[in-house]
Amino acid sequence: MSISGKLAAAIGLFAGAVALVLWAVFGFIMPNTPTTDFTTAQPAGSPVNLHVQVVGAIGYGPHPTWVSYLVQTPGGAWSHSTIWKLPPHTQINMTIDQYDSGSPLRNQVWGQIEGTQGGTVTLDGQTTSVVNSYIGNGVGHTFAVPSLGIVVPLSGVDGSAKNFCSTPAPCASSAVHTVTKFSFMTPGAGDYQWQCFVPCGLSTLFGNGGPMSTVGYMGGFLDVAA
């Protein structure tokens, strides 16, 4: 084989290898995650009620031990979906039931409430602007939309409680959990990434891999429709 032929073969093999790597990476980061549509959940212009769960292990699928978010569809069923289609310029009333255990935050800045209406949340019926992760069961996870300036820490539960949620998800309301409620306004049309900023990817570098880096588990998108 000529030098030019060997070079072309080498380039072809390299391109093939790069394509395989990119396919693997994007297949891991962006799995086939369903979109849950809330644009017609309430009459046009009315607030949208968004009910979410955070569970310590999803209990099924390709990663049954991974921590995950779920959302309640407008029809009342729980869906393993983290891409939520919302109307623009609309108040979102969000309720997050948090069923996972917690610990002190590595960075206490994630304990501050930001970007919600009034700069506060209601945690188990009490209004607060900060969650002290050194008190009680710490912070389990956060719900954060960086581009909208939203940061909401989610208080953890006692992992040794007799009624700690067991898999598979969704968790029953009788299991130990905290309830965080808050509201925010959607902006104009666009895709706004959200995620948890508490490292919870066990056996990954600094806890930031696995579910932390995978849409459909601890991150997703607010798909604000035109």
**pLDDT surpasses 70 at 212:** yes
**CA neighbor of 79 nearest in space, from 197, 169, 161:** 169
111, 162: one domain:
yes
24, 73: one domain:
no
- pTM to 2 decimals? 0.85
113, 137: one domain:
yes
46, 14: one domain:
no
**pLDDT surpasses 70 at 159:** yes
**Residue 70, pLDDT score:** 98
1, 48: one domain:
no
76, 134: one domain:
yes
Sign of CA dihedral 155, 212, 75, 164: negative
Domain holding 19, by residue range, is: 1-30
Tokens of 98: 């948090």
**Residue 106, pLDDT score:** 87
The residues, any chain, with a CB within 8 Å of residue 69's CB and separated by 6 or more, are 52, 53, 54, 82, 196, 217, 218, 220
Q: Are 32 and 215 in contact (CB under 8 A)?
A: no
Sign of CA dihedral 206, 80, 186, 98: negative
181, 109: one domain:
yes
Interval 181-193 mean pLDDT: 98
**CA neighbor of 63 nearest in space, from 179, 146, 168:** 168
62, 125: one domain:
yes
114, 3: one domain:
no
Domain count for the chain, please give it: 2
93, 200: one domain:
yes
CATH number at 113 reads: 2.60.40.420
∠193-194-195 over CA atoms, to 5°? Answer: 130
**pLDDT surpasses 50 at 21:** no
pLDDT band at 204, cuts 50/70/90? confident
21, 111: one domain:
no
Q: Are 187 and 145 in contact (CB under 8 A)?
A: no
17, 41: one domain:
no
